[in-house]
Amino acid sequence: MKRVLIFDSGVGGLSVYQEIYAQLPNVQYIYAFDDAAFPYGELPEGELIARTRHIVSLLVERHSVDLVVVACNTASTIVLPTLRDVLSIPVVGVVPAIKPAATLSQRKVIGLLATPATVQREYTELLISQFASHCQVLRIGSTRLVEMAEQKLRGQTISITELEAILQPWRNRVDCIVLGCTHFPLIRDEITQALDGDVTIVDSGRAIANRVKDLLGEVTATSKEPNLTYNSAAGINAAALNNSLAAMQLEPVRSLHYPRL
């Protein structure tokens, strides 16, 4: 039985989980999210590193995890070196899918939709200079879209009018959008609707799933233990969230207290 831990500040990493699960259904998944410190984009770097290291290390030991996915763009740009130093198993991060977007765009005008922290990171600038220097990359950093994705998974309605207002600067300008936050694929349909469907939308979920599959190697198990979910804070609209989790083959949320369980 192989086990994969997927970690995020909130439910956004579920978009990555779905891509990995589609390729590797016979792996046990432990999904952990640090709702007590949500959103991670507004945390000091030292606190983000400390929280991530504590929670991930604890669950890796508890469940004898074989591989960790940090399914958060903000955290991935900060905590991967620390986790790789303290863990002896592979740690996979996520980065904005700027390289494929630069190839797909016909107008060579790309929209990068991410958190305020991610759009300003030096790492993001490096990705753009390496893979999209021949493109114009327009950026929107939005915490509100992160909140919308959280609301959707908890059974609340998303305002298309509000989304249209946020994305208005890109209307009739970009032809390809990079979803640079793992929360955003959860509202892909709403984003497409807000932009009248006249864009190509890319994210890094499938690439991450391919990487996990390569690192895990052959999976021979034909049965497995239930997929678990942990949260560091009492959930809002917990029943609706658990319904969404059940549809994704995940057990109801268990309490995960920081700094102690």
Q: Which amino acid, residue 198?
A: D
Six-digit token pair at 77? Answer: 């740009």
Active site annotation includes 72: yes
Phi-psi region of 237 (alpha: psi -120 to 50; beta: other; left: phi over 0): left
Angle at the Cα of 55 from the Cα atoms of 53 and 57, rounded to 5 degrees: 60
- Asked if residue 44 has a cis previous peptide bond (ω within 30° of 0), the answer is no
Active site annotation includes 176: no
Q: Which amino acid, residue 78?
A: I
| 230 CB-side CA count, 13 A | 21
Q: What are phi and psi of 191, to 5 degrees?
A: -65, -45
CA distance 193 to 173: 16
Helix (H) or strand (E) run with residue 239 in it: helix 238-247
- From the list 181, 199, 202, 209, the catalytic residue is 181
- From the list 37, 72, 132, 148, the catalytic residue is 72
Relative to beta strand 253-255, strand 228-231 is parallel
| Full strand arrangement of the beta sheet holding 109-114 | 136-141, 109-114, 176-179, 200-202
Look at residue 113 and give its three-state secondary structure. strand
The DSSP 8-state label assigned to residue 137 in this structure reads E
Q: Which residues are catalytic?
A: 72, 181
